[in-house]
Chain A
Amino acid sequence: MIKKLDRLELKQFCEYLEKYYGIEEDFNGYVLLWSGKNKIRLTTIETYEFFEKMKKAESIGIYIAKRIGTDWVLSIEGTQLIGNKIKKNFIELNREEAEKWMKGEPIKIKSEIPSKFIIGKYNGTFLGSGRVISNTIYPYVSKWRRITRTCPTSYHS
């Protein structure tokens, strides 16, 4: 079931992003939609207007955030959409760590992070969110998009 966020829900979501990540974003020009109870999808206004006219459709736009308990966790595309507005609760990774992140492997960190969730960043690109437990980050990367193996050099004709 896909349903538009009402004003209050949108306000609460924006307030959470501001409080937790320092993001000031009102999603002007976009429509935010509930996809199930806990996921938020994003699309354009005109796409949503057409979607409403269709009697039957499977899905619309892209998934940008999901609710875990009382928290909101941003997806990879969610962080990429508003990444340049993120002011806190993100961590700069090196290439090796970024690859581990996209494999869904835990990443050990030296200093403790006080928050429950953190956003990964590598070379200016945002990699979505991870769960922090003591000195380890457990990245949220869907199985279907994880880097699953590394192959040796390949030649092509």
Chain B
Amino acid sequence: MKTSPIQVVFLVLLPALLIGCPQPILQVTPSEIEEPAPAEKAADENPRVVAALQLTDQGRRLLEDGQPDRAIRALEQAVGLDPTNGQNYYYLSEAWLMKESAAQAKEFNHLAEIHLKEDRAWMIRVAQQADRIAELEK
């Protein structure tokens, strides 16, 4: 199959275009960023990680329901079990954003950045979150 030069240019530019797309605040479901479902992802990992992912998911759902305090509680438990999962810090930052505390949101955003540095898709979200925090700080 022959590819036209326009198609080649389009394919090359596509990732960059996608990265630049603005996204809503809580567009973060694992499925949307092509993350496997928690249990699936953690099937071969240690049991604490599997359990922690359940709590991470609970926290995310509570955030979607607009309950930041309850979400923080679930995410704190998730951090207690698996402090290396950067998604917990990302969602904690979301919770503090929801509570309009830029200072705490910033701290957790920073932790999310540390832990999600190898995940390009998540790093895009972390960067966007940082922008929203900066917006709140203004």
> Are A and B genuine complex partners?
no
